[in-house]
Amino acid sequence: MSKVLMKGNEALAEAAIRAGCRHFFGYPITPQTEVSAYMAKKMPKIGGTFLQAESEVAAINMVYGAGGAGVRVMTSSSSPGISLKQEGISYIAGADVPCVIVNIVRGGPGLGGIQPAQSDYFQATKGGGHGDYHLVVLAPSSIQEMVDLTSDAFDIGDKYRCPVMIMGDGMLGQMMEPVEFKDADVSNLPEKTWATTGTGMKRKKNIINSLFLEASELEKLVLERQERYAEIAKNEVRYEAVDVEDADVVLVAYGTTSRIAKTAMAKAKEMGLKVGIIRPITLWPFPFEAFNNALNGKDKKFLCVEMSTGQMIEDVKLAVGDKAEVHFFGRTGGIVPTPKEILNKIIELGGAK
Amino acid sequence: MEKVFQKPHALSDVPFHYCPGCPHGIVHRLVAEVIDELGIEGDTIGVAPVGCSVMAYNYFECDMQEAAHGRAPAVATGIKRARPDKVVFTYQGDGDLAAIGTAETVHVAARGENVTTIFINNAIYGMTGGQMAPTTLPGQVTQTSPYGRDVKTQGNPIRVSEMLATLDGPAYIERVTVDTIPHIKQAKAAIKKAFQMQIEGKGFSLVEVVSTCPTNWGMSPQESFQWMRDNMLVKYPLGVYKDITKEEEAK
Amino acid sequence: MTYETIFAGFGGQGILFSGKVVAYAGMIEGKNVSHLPSYGPEMRGGTANCSVIVSDELVASPIITEPELLVVMNGPSLDKFENAVVPGGKIFIDSTLISRECERDDVESFRIPATQMANDMGIPKLANMIMVGKLIKETNMFTWEQLTGAVTKLVPPAKAAMLESNIKALEAGYNF
């Protein structure tokens, strides 16, 4: 397959279609509107559904309906829109309906701005909606990875019957990079025997539901779901770790920020500093093992870099415990940190040794 | 012995949780009878609301999804788009359909989404214990309008059938009630027509059933129906508000 | 080798497209590339810019804060980016629309009356391609064949006339 130059939002939409997604429900919001526009153009030509919903709330509930009826379905939005979808996301998690939700994050809170940010980390990884549930959260750092993870997102959702979020940011959505689409075979996806497809008078009825008034029944179901989450944590953790073993300073960054951190890392190395990086690809489940591997007895400092005032740092601290210092550098409100700013922080930490 | 009356197949063999005298049981039965008569149980997917009929997913034998409060039309849209060859219906009360879910209701109708909505209007929030609904009449006493609904501060009731009939999307809208045998027969005919229109691909259909809530109105079932006739049917007159097959005939 | 270029001007001048041509040529040649546009309200009729990186290495940050190459097609863009260019960098100025000279003496600047040339040639919308032609000529980022090869692939085959004008514009810039 040859490479094509594509905008992130459009590449993501194409990847979803290639993963067998034929149903997309969305609502326009910058900086992810190109996903909807692409779907609007493509879906009618391949017998799929693109529907511009009356609201983000309606869109996520259409996803719930279609996902419950057993098809691969996706919605896409950006921060304020994702807040509106939280009700539906909680119901989807509670009813064990697989689907893919894309958040191309912009600065917040409130209406915030439209420039890239990572300030929805808490919302994505720690709940967002009400109740005991998790989203699997995938954080690509390039358009190619966004394409690859979109396909994985549908597979993970179907395998564990859970909603999966792809979390990018305005920069990933808007930038163009060469991508190669690997042709996934989606002709033989496993049958969803639990879905509401009509009984055909051949089986007992299926119910898609998150209401369980009997407390003991609800507890049992929530605990069963927790077991599935443990399986996900065992099987689906993804991260990249580079030059961590011998590093004095280990950068921790995901998505767009990790690319900038890598530029800073290369410059620090030119100066003779020993710097490595851990890049979580799954934000939930968080890659704790990457930190266990890094804490090999050698004295290290961790520097968490985010486009927020410090959200992932809580997981980094949890992972590192009292075994090493954890420092933070972040910009927020839509400001993207520069390699120089990160480099200065590395020097400050490395030089203090 | 000859069997002269039995439960429709599409109605599950479980006891209802509804209060004594509640018309939900009648309407559930009518929907199930229609599903039986049309032979569509195996091809039907229902959407339950939040409200008194929240557990409707236990009462119908077809596949069911339970929606968040007010979102049944959006959920039904998702199901119908995923399974266009299936019959999809929602069953919703007045709080669900005309307050928290107004946007979903208006837009499912405006899109002419090929689904059917059964709308129970009893002018009160029953499940939560009798609060003011969007269809509560002016002056009507509820837990949250203890001095009677004051339209100056609490707004006016919404006539859903009339409002939706102004849209181009809906194919069929009728308001019925279930207080007498003739009215029950008429209600069943309306529900059947609504499902038939969906099967024929004509677009959105809605049957509004003006109903009662003896428990929260604080009346006997018979008194409730009398109060409904004297008050609600004045505000909410029975009749067909939209029927594109009639419009087509007229042309 | 890494080329970091900022293209900047008004919306409607084809700024993003000129960046796309360069990124596309890089991709065809097997380089690592990224194209990052400015977006949002500022795009709707206001100024437009994009950062394009063409590199033998993996592109780390797609943001360019200190470009080696700057292509500007209006005054505000020169004001905004002139001082960001690294010493020894090159600035390409559409002199039809920007009357002032480049004030830096540690960079090389080129003044091309691209808008005037495009108007004279009867292809008023292709001043951007004239600028790209000059950029490629002065940087040797690509050969002439590589550049025209990229444009040929970017312009839909059904629009042969459009391709011809694009190449004409590139040529005018390349030979300026």
Instruction: Enumerate long-range contacts of A188-196, CB under 8 Å, 24 or more apart.
Output: A189/A20, A189/A72, A189/A158, A190/A158, A192/A70, A192/A158, A194/A96, A194/A161, A195/A68, A195/A69, A195/A70, A196/A68, A196/A69, A196/A70, A196/B45, A196/B63, A196/B64, A196/B65, A196/B79, A196/B83
Instruction: Calculate what percentage of chain A has a pLDDT beyond 90.
Output: 94
Tokens standing for A26?
């969305």
Are A226 and A245 in a shared domain? no
Tokens standing for B46?
């229902």
Are A222 and A265 in a shared domain? no
pLDDT at C45: 54
Residues in A closer than 8 angstroms to C65, CB to CB, are 338-340
User: Topology of domain C2-174, per CATH?
Assistant: Pyruvate-ferredoxin Oxidoreductase; domain 3 (3.40.920)
Are A332 and A204 in a shared domain? no
Burial class (CB in 10 A: 0-12, 13-18, 19+), B154: middle
Q: What is the mean pLDDT of residues B84-111?
A: 98
For residue A265, give Cα distances in angstroms to A242, A306, A339.
Answer: 10, 15, 8
> How many Cα atoms within 13 Å fall on the side-chain side of residue A2?
8
CA distance A311 to A123: 10
DSSP-derived secondary structure letter, C142:
S
Tokens standing for A96?
């064990």
Q: What is the mean pLDDT of residues C150-175?
A: 93
Whether the CA torsion A331, A336, A341, A345 is positive or negative: it is positive
Are A220 and A245 in a shared domain? no
Nearest Cβ partner for C36 among A175, A266, A338: A175
| Residue where a domain stops, chosen among A188, A207, A235 | A235
Q: Which residues contact B181 (CB under 8 A, 6 or more apart)?
A: none
pLDDT at A1: 54
Nearest Cβ partner for B79 among A53, A88, A196: A196
Q: A278-287, B178-187, B221-230, C155-164: which range is least confident on average? A: C155-164
pLDDT at B59: 97
Instruction: Answer whether C61 sits within 8 Å of A259, measured CB to CB.
Output: yes
Nearest Cβ partner for A55 among B55, B58, B103: B103
C33 in contact with chain A, both atoms CB, cutoff 8 A: yes
Are A105 and A168 in a shared domain? yes
Are A280 and A228 in a shared domain? no
CA distance A58 to A130: 18
Are A228 and A308 in a shared domain? no
Instruction: Answer whether B61 sits within 8 Å of A207, measured CB to CB.
Output: no
Residue with more model confidence, A187 or B37 = B37
Q: What is the mean pLDDT of residues B151-175?
A: 98
Tell how strand A207-208 and strand A239-242 pair up: unpaired
- For residue A7, the Cα-to-chain-centroid distance in whole angstroms is 18
Number of domains in chain B: 1
Instruction: Answer whether C20 sits within 8 Å of A5, measured CB to CB.
Output: yes
C17 in contact with chain A, both atoms CB, cutoff 8 A: no
Are A131 and A151 in a shared domain? yes
pLDDT at A185: 85
Tokens standing for C23?
């990124």
Residue B232 has pLDDT above 50, yes or no: yes
Position B67 in a domain = yes
Cβ atoms of residues C135 and C116 within 8 Å: no
CATH number, position B184? 3.40.50.970
Residue B206 has pLDDT above 90, yes or no: yes
Residues in B closer than 8 angstroms to A198, CB to CB, are 42-45, 62-63, 83, 86
User: Tell me: the pLDDT tens digits for B41-83?
Assistant: 999 999 999 999 999 999 999 999 999 999 999 999 999 999 9
Residues in A closer than 8 angstroms to C61, CB to CB, are 259-260, 262-263, 339
pLDDT at C44: 52
Q: Is A185 helix (H, G, I), strand (E, B) or coil?
A: coil
User: Tell me: the pLDDT tens digits for C6-35?
Assistant: 999 998 899 999 999 999 999 999 999 999
Other Cβ atoms closer than 10 A to B129: 12
Nearest Cβ partner for C33 among A114, A178, A338: A178
Are A212 and A95 in a shared domain? yes
DSSP-derived secondary structure letter, B54:
G
User: Tell me: the pLDDT tens digits for C102-145?
Assistant: 999 999 999 999 999 999 999 999 999 999 999 999 999 999 99
Cβ atoms of residues B45 and A207 within 8 Å: no
pLDDT at A127: 84
C-alpha closest to that of A314 among A122, A141, A124, A133: A122
Tokens standing for A223?
């605990």
Residue with more model confidence, A294 or C61 = A294
pLDDT at B1: 81
Tokens standing for A111?
């209406």
Whole domain around residue B41: which residue ranges? 24-250
pTM: 0.94
**Angle made by CA atoms B94, B98, B99, in degrees to the nearest 5:** 100
Number of domains in chain A: 2
pLDDT at C11: 83
Cis before A31? omega within 30: yes
pLDDT at A353: 42
Q: How far is A265 from chain C (nearest CA, A)?
A: 10
Q: What residue ranges of chain A have pLDDT lower than 50?
A: 352-353
Instruction: Answer whether B67 sits within 8 Å of A49, measured CB to CB.
Output: no
- For residue C104, the Cα-to-chain-centroid distance in whole angstroms is 20
C36 in contact with chain A, both atoms CB, cutoff 8 A: yes
Are A10 and A135 in a shared domain? yes
CATH number, position A262? 3.40.50.920
B158-190 as b/e: b if 16+ CB within 10 A: bbbbebbbebebbbbbbbbbbbeeebbebbbeb
Other Cβ atoms closer than 10 A to B142: 22
**Chain A partners (3+ C-beta pairs within 8 A):** B, C
**A to C contact (≥3 Cβ pairs closer than 8 Å):** yes
| Residue where a domain stops, chosen among A212, A235, A258 | A235
Q: Which amino acid is at C162?
A: M
Residue C83 has pLDDT above 50, yes or no: yes
Bridge partner residues of C7 (DSSP): C50, C71
Residue C40 has pLDDT above 80, yes or no: no
DSSP-derived secondary structure letter, B40:
-
Q: Which amino acid is at B181?
A: I
Are A290 and A229 in a shared domain? no
> How many Cα atoms within 13 Å fall on the side-chain side of residue A336?
26
DSSP-derived secondary structure letter, C101:
P
CA distance B33 to B21: 20
Q: How far is A294 from chain B (nearest CA, A)?
A: 45
Tell me the pLDDT of chain A averaged across its residues. 96
In this predicted complex, what is the ipTM?
A: 0.92
User: Tell me: the pLDDT tens digits for A119-153?
Assistant: 999 999 998 999 999 999 999 999 999 999 999 99
pLDDT at C61: 85
Position B8 in a domain = no
Position B68 in a domain = yes
Tell me the pLDDT of chain B averaged across its residues. 97
**Chain C partners (3+ C-beta pairs within 8 A):** A
Instruction: Answer whether C65 sits within 8 Å of A178, measured CB to CB.
Output: no
Whether the CA torsion A214, A215, A218, A224 is positive or negative: it is negative
CA distance B132 to B95: 9
User: Tell me: the pLDDT tens digits for A264-273?
Assistant: 999 999 999 9
Instruction: Answer whether A5 sits within 8 Å of C27, measured CB to CB.
Output: yes
Burial class (CB in 10 A: 0-12, 13-18, 19+), C44: exposed
Residue C42 has pLDDT above 80, yes or no: no
Position B14 in a domain = no
Residues in B closer than 8 angstroms to A207, CB to CB, are 57-58, 63-66
Q: Where are the alpha helices (DSSP H) in A179-276?
A: 215-235, 255-270
For residue A319, give Cα distances in angstroms to A248, A287, A302.
Answer: 17, 9, 11
| Residue where a domain stops, chosen among A183, A217, A235 | A235
Residues in C closer than 8 angstroms to A79, CB to CB, are none
Whole domain around residue A329: which residue ranges? 239-351
Position B19 in a domain = no
Q: What is the mean pLDDT of residues B11-17?
A: 95
For residue C161, give Cα distances in angstroms to A133, C16, C25, C165, C168.
Answer: 57, 21, 21, 6, 11
- Hey, which bits of A15-106 come out as E strands? 23-26, 49-52, 73-77, 99-105
B198-236 as b/e: b if 16+ CB within 10 A: beeebbbbbbbbbbbbbbbbebebeebbebbbeebeeeb
Tell how strand C47-55 and strand C2-10 pair up: antiparallel
C72-106 as b/e: b if 16+ CB within 10 A: bbbeebbebbbeebeeebbbbbbbbbbeeebeeee
Mutate which of C17, C20, C22, C34 to test chain A, going by most A C-beta atoms within 10 A?
A: C34
Residue with tokens 């057993």: A70
Cis before A109? omega within 30: yes
pLDDT at A298: 81
Tokens standing for A1?
């397959």
- For residue A96, the Cα-to-chain-centroid distance in whole angstroms is 18
Are A276 and A127 in a shared domain? no
pLDDT at A352: 46
Residue C43 has pLDDT above 80, yes or no: no
